[in-house]
Amino acid sequence: MSDYEVFELGPTSLACGIRLPAMHIAYRVYGSLNRDKSNLILYPTSYGAHHSDIDWLIGADRILDPARYFIVIPNQLGNGLSTSPSNLPAPFVKGRAPAFSHWDNVAAQDRLLREVLGVDRIALIYGWSMGGQQALHWGALHPDRVERICVTCTSARTSPHNKLFLESLRLALTADPAWRDGWFAETPVRGLRAFARIYASWAQSQAFYRRKLWAGAGFDSLDDFILRAWEGNFMRRDPMDLLSMIDTWIQSDISAAEPFSGDLSAALGTITVPTIVMPSTTDLYFTLADSEIETAKMPNAELRPIVSDWGHRAGNPVASPDDETFIRQAVRDLLESSD
C-alpha cells in the first residue's frame, strides 16, 4: 500500500524536445480544501527527496498547518516516484532517459492542480533547495496564479559555483566501475559512498562539524552521522535518478525560456507577489550573497537570512528547532500580512 496518489498525464512533450508516450506525477495531500478553494499550499520536493522525507514540517505548531491549509506535495520528475529513469519503459532505458526540467515540473503540477484538484490559485508556494527553484519558476511562469512565495536555501538560477559542486557529484558517481556505456550495470556502491561524503561536506557548514552538531541530532560519532544520515540516504535511491535530478538542478534557470530569453532581471521582475527569500548564512552553495542579488530584483520580496551553523540544511531544519521556529514565523508573517 502506497501513501501517495498518482496522476497519469498521458502523452507528454518535454522541454528537451522528447515526447513520452506516458508520464505521471506522484503526490500526497494533507488537510482539506476549503469551500472556495483558496487555501492550497504547494510544497515541491527537494533533491533526492520523496514526499515522505519532507513532510515532517506539516502539522500543528510546525511550519505548515494542515488544520488551516490544504497542502500538496508533488514529487518532482526524476525522484523515483514520479516519472524517472528508474521507472521508464524501453526505449528510454539504459542511459536513454530524457532530461527533465523545472519547466516540465511546473507544467505537470499545473495540470495536477487544475485537472485533479480543481484549483486555479495557490495561496502559498513553499520550497527548500530544488523545491524552492520550482517555486520561483512558478512565480515567473504563472504570476497571476500564485499569491505568496516562501523559499529557503535556493536560487532562481543555478550559479557557476553551485554547478561545479554538482559536477563533482556526477563525476564521483560515474567514476564507479559499474558505470558502463552511459548507465550503471550494477549498484555503484563505491560511487555512492564517495557521492555521500562530498555531499555531506557541502550540505553542512564548517561550524556544524567543529561544534559536533550531529551529536544533538541523535548520532554517536561523525562516522555514525556520515554512514546513517548520508550514505544511508543516497543508498535508497536509484543512481540514474540521482544523475537525472543533478541535470535538472544544473539547468535550473527561471529566465531560460520565452519570454525572458536569458534575462534574469526580467524574469525576477515578474514575481510581484509577497515573497520571503530565506538563505542560510552558512550555506556553501546557495550563498547569502547570491540570494541578495536575486532578491533585489524582485519587486515585493524580503530577504530574511537564517542565522545558523547548519549550512544548507538550515532550510530543512528537521533537527534544528531554532531554525524551524524562525522559518515558521516567516511563513506565518507572509500568510497573515496578506490575508
Is 339 catalytic? The answer is no
Q: Cell 484549483 belongs to which residue?
A: 119
| 133 vs 130: CA distance, rounded Å | 5
Active-site residue, from 253, 283, 290, 309: 283
Residue 267 contacts residue 258 (beta carbons within 8 Å) = no
Is 308 catalytic? The answer is no
Active-site residue, from 104, 247, 312, 320: 312
Q: For residues 117-154, b (16+ Cβ closer than 10 Å) or e, as one string?
A: bebeebbbbbbbbbbbbbbbbbbbbbeebbbbbbbbbb
Active-site residue, from 46, 101, 129, 155: 129
| 99 vs 123: CA distance, rounded Å | 30
Phi-psi sector, 230: left (phi>0), alpha (psi -120 to 50), beta: alpha
Question: DSSP secondary structure string, 63-108?
Answer: SB-TTT-EEEEEPPTTSSSSS-GGGPPTTS-SS-PPPP-HHHHHHH
| 3 vs 221: CA distance, rounded Å | 33
Is 312 catalytic? The answer is yes
Q: What is the dihedral of CA 123, 26, 183, 12, to 10 degrees?
A: -80
Q: What is the dihedral of CA 309, 313, 315, 317, to 10 degrees?
A: -90
Q: Cell 523559499 belongs to which residue?
A: 151
3-class secondary-structure state, position 25: strand
Q: Tell me the β-bridge partners of 126.
A: 150
**Residues that are catalytic:** 129, 283, 312
